[in-house]
Structure formats: structure tokens, C-alpha cells
Amino acid sequence: MPRFKVAVLSLGYESYETEREILSDVDAELILAQADCLTEEEVIASGYDADAIMVREAPVTAHVLDSLPRCRAVVRYGVGVDNIDLERASEKRIYVANVPGYGNEEVSDHAAALLLACIRTLPARERALRQGRFETDISEQIYRTSGKTLGLVGYGAIGRVFLRKWRGFDPGRVLVCDPALSVENAAADGLELTDQKTLLSQSDYVSLHLPLTEATRGIIDEAALRSMKPTAILINTARGGIVDEAALARALEKGWILAAGLDVFDREPLPPDSPLLGVDNLILTGHVGWYSKDSVRELQTRAAREVIRVLTGSVPEHWVNPW
């Protein structure tokens, strides 16, 4: 009989041999759920006798936590823990941990890729060539990267990595809006700290790098989009709810801004009736910015090690519900 049992709920990765190998060091058996675990009942059935559960989107509510008699840890594959009742977990002395930072390089790469694709109108150029038009001369609104003003709304870990990469394109100015950033620290990084209204009105390229909270939900609304330059480009690889999607569709159709690139959406998967799907000057990808073979391995490795910390009597490295 193994010493511990660890249940992986809501599967989705190619293999779980990474976790299995790591957990075997403490004689923990890895159990893969048979269902997607999208309901409380499925979570309870799959994790009932587990000492720890590892989750993605599975609902870990108060009812679920009350129904898992052996559970000592809930580890989230990723950063967000809004699907986990942190208060009830703390009351029951169940550790909740996440894995921040595993996809910083990938998400920042994706933001840069979306921005470059929008700047160079790559989807339109690729379609034209496939349709038989070899365009040596075009009249599209294509502008250079160098000398332009970059605006960063949010300057956390991913925003910093993105800026490290984008500096290679020689921006003229870099504006940043982040309430946690001081004027002195911004200046030390060569940034101009400003408010969101000023940033949006003066930036040529705007990239969003902030969490979704009650304060940030819908901050890129119609008024914000109308305040931007008609040649501006907006990129969102952060959280979908930050942007009012209907307002963005209108902004692109009416020319309030030039283009946009989105990897995240308010509802995922993106519903077939989304107004975004009918907009041409918009590049859409399906929340894949975090992904690479390397990031997945790091995510799985670090998640398994958090489980081991709890099972061996330590606290998680990234403990999100301290008591």
C-alpha cells in the first residue's frame, strides 16, 4: 500500500509521468481522474480518499472541501485560484498553493508576437498571397516599431519580461501605469510612470499585463478605447475580463484604434456569437500564450514539489491561503 494518494483532477496534459516520478520519492500514488471534474460531485468522487489534489479549473468549493476527509493540500496548475474557496480551506487547515511564473517567457513572447503580427498586418498579407496577390506595393497602415511609444498597463513579472524583449525594437518612450510602482523605481527602469488615461492617449502600442480583479474588470471600455490614437494597437495576454469585448469590436470596426491582438477572453472557449469573430483587424488566439513544452514541464514539476512539501510536513513555497 502506498503511503499517500494524490489525485489529479480535470486532465489536459500530454503525460503525467513527471508528477508520478517526483511523487514516488515519498511513496505517493498518483491517481488520474476518469472524468473532467467540472462539477462538485465529480471532484468529490475523484478526490474523496486523496491526501492531496491537483487541479486546473475544477471547482474546489466549501462543499467539496468539506467532503474530502483526507485532503491536506490543493495545488493549482497555474496562477489563478478563483475556483478554490480559500477561506474554507484555511478554516480546515488545507494548504492551497499555486505555480506563479512558469509561463512568463512564453506569455511575453506571445504578447510580442501578437504585437508584431498586428504591426506588420501578417494575417492580411498571408491571406493575400494565398489568394494569388503577390504584393510588392501595398497601402496598408503599417508603421515601424522603433521610435514609437509603448504603454504597459501593469508592470508585474510578465510585463517586465515583455519590456526586456521589446527594448530590442528601440521604443522611443515607455509609459507604465501600475499603482504598485513608485516613480523612483519606474525611472530606474527607464520608464515614465503615469495614469491610465495619459498612457492610453499617448501610446502607439499598448500591452496589458495586470490581474483580473473587481478594480480592473472592464477598464478597457468604450471611453478608454475612444481616448486612444487611431493608429494605436492593443494587446491582451493577461485576462479577458479586463477588456469590454463588444466595445473593442466597435472600436476596431469604426477605426477608433488600428488593430488588436487577444489571447484571452471574458468567456472561454470564445462563444461562436462573439462580436470579435467578425472583425478583420483583430488577431485571436485561444489562450495558448502560456504554452511550450518547457513551460508545461516546469509547471508539472513545481506543482508536484508543492504537494511533496505538504505531505512531508513543510509549507508550500507558494502558499496562497496562509493562516
The residue from 21, 41, 268, 317 that is catalytic is: 268
Place of cell 462538485: 40
Q: What is the DSSP string of 236-296?
A: E-S-GGGB-HHHHHHHHHHTSSSEEEES--SSSSPPTT-GGGG-SSEEE--S-TT--HHHH
The yes-or-no answer on residue 72 being catalytic is: no
The residue from 239, 305, 309, 318 that is catalytic is: 239
Neighbours of 58 (CB within 10 A): 28
Q: What amino acid occupies position 117?
A: A
The yes-or-no answer on residue 268 being catalytic is: yes
3-class DSSP state of 41:
helix
The yes-or-no answer on residue 318 being catalytic is: no
Closest Cα partner for 117 from 267, 263, 271?
A: 263
* Alpha-carbon span 95 to 301, nearest angstrom: 18
The residue from 120, 125, 287, 297 that is catalytic is: 287
Catalytic residue ranges: 239, 268, 287
